[in-house]
Amino acid sequence: MKIYTKTGDQGTTALYGGTRVSKHHIRIESYGTLDELNAHIGLLRDQAIDPTYQAILAEIQDRLFTAGAIMATPPDKERLKNGALRLQIDRITADDIALLEQEIDRMENTLPVMTHFILPGGHTIVSFCHIARCVCRRAERLAVHLHELEPIDESVLHYLNRLSDYLFVLARKLSNDLQAEEVKWIPRQSQTES
């Protein structure tokens, strides 16, 4: 299969099921942002970090492809007239969300209590994680917008919400593992009053 098809030269692309839409359509923005997030997570996974984190991140990358497939499929193309699934699309499951929650709890049990907002940074690897978290939040906002216009499986929304939490806690855990300083954000007004 050739990588270039020339079918998108006029600014349209095909969703699953064949419907053509503009490349700026909310569905394209939504799953395109998931693709961007997946690339950032790949960059993070390629760093010298604990193999346990790398394995979880690889699982997350797989789940993001599933979420993208869900977003790329218009509701009218998911089912045949008799109600049977037209396209066999994998789903985000309660177990996928539970894995993130378990990992968040496991990491938080080893971290000091957070008393302030934290400035992103302190180490390049930690910064990569914070960038992934920010892109995840944008992906979530776009998914919510898409869901308001054309409902999608709500498990995608739940997964993205939990994933941004996971990435925040992972950034804190990586700071701890790498002995990088977590810089607390203290508003200027608070600094002058103390």
Report whether 166 contacts 102 (CB < 8 A): no
User: What are 122-131's pLDDT values in tens digits?
Assistant: 999 999 999 9
Check residue 80 and give its pLDDT: 47
User: What are 70-127's pLDDT values in tens digits?
Assistant: 998 887 655 545 555 555 678 999 999 999 999 999 999 999 998 889 899 999 999 9
Backbone angles phi, psi at 16, to 5 degrees: -60, 135
Distances (CA, A) of 179 to 19, 52, 53, 123, 170: 51, 18, 17, 9, 14
Give the range with max mean pLDDT: 1-5, 75-79, 149-153.
149-153
Which one is predicted more confidently, 168 or 187?
168
Nearest to residue 41, comparing CAs of 20, 61, 19, 12? 61
Check residue 77 and give its pLDDT: 58
Q: Which pair of tokens denotes residue 48?
A: 């010298």
Q: Which pair of tokens denotes residue 67?
A: 């979420």
> Residue 156: enclosing H or E segment and its boundaries?
helix 154-177
